[in-house]
Amino acid sequence: MDYFELFQSEKVENAVELMGLDKNQYSYSMKEEDFSALDKLKVAYYSGRDTEEVCDILKEPTYLISNEIKRLFELYDKSIEYKGVQLFSTAGENTKSPLYWVADFPMPECMHESSGKYDNGMLKELVLDRKKIRGLDIFRVAGLLEYKIIVSLPVAESLLRRRLYGIGLRKVKVV
């Protein structure tokens, strides 16, 4: 089966910037114990400027997915837990109040030995070990500095059919 990395598209130039979230609690490199400490639902704010893009994946301060992506993921993996972040605009006339989710994705040790890393620990090339990801449709790669979410081909196709805004998919090598 083919697998793809799910990320915020490079075409998103001015993603929503969240205010009111503790960056220590909602960190980029969130671990399972960090996730457990989060509230079930948190309120945060954004400026509501016309130039801000409300997209379906936010990568700062942590990896957040839209409610629509969460509903899709629940069709493929009911075991993933989620904690919500409800956004409200600080601009009174803006009525968009998107709901985002922090997900506790499964984190298998699934990198193949042929994966390459730079001296500073950043990933050069991701290669997945097919035997270690068998049966998984959605997961986060363990042992990386970066936050890499991987989805199977059926999940990727479902994402594309929904015409989500600001998502990107990149094929990942699997051996």
User: Average pLDDT in the 73-99 region?
Assistant: 91
**Max Cα-Cα span within the chain:** 53
Residue with tokens 């989710």: 101
Amino acid in the structure at residue 90 = T
Based on the structure, what is the number of domains in the chain?
Answer: 1
| Confidence band of 94 (pLDDT split at 50, 70, 90) | low
145-156 per-position pLDDT tens digit = 889 999 999 999
Where residue 143 falls (left for φ over 0; alpha for ψ -120 to 50; beta otherwise) is left
| Residue (of 172, 158, 140) closest to 73 by Cα position | 158
User: Average pLDDT in the 117-122 region?
Assistant: 85
Tally of CB atoms within 10 A around 29:
11
User: Average pLDDT in the 10-32 region?
Assistant: 91
DSSP for 84-141, written as a single string: EEEEEESSTT-----EEEEEE------B-TT-EE-TTS-EEE-EE-GGGSTT-SEEE-
pTM of the model: 0.92
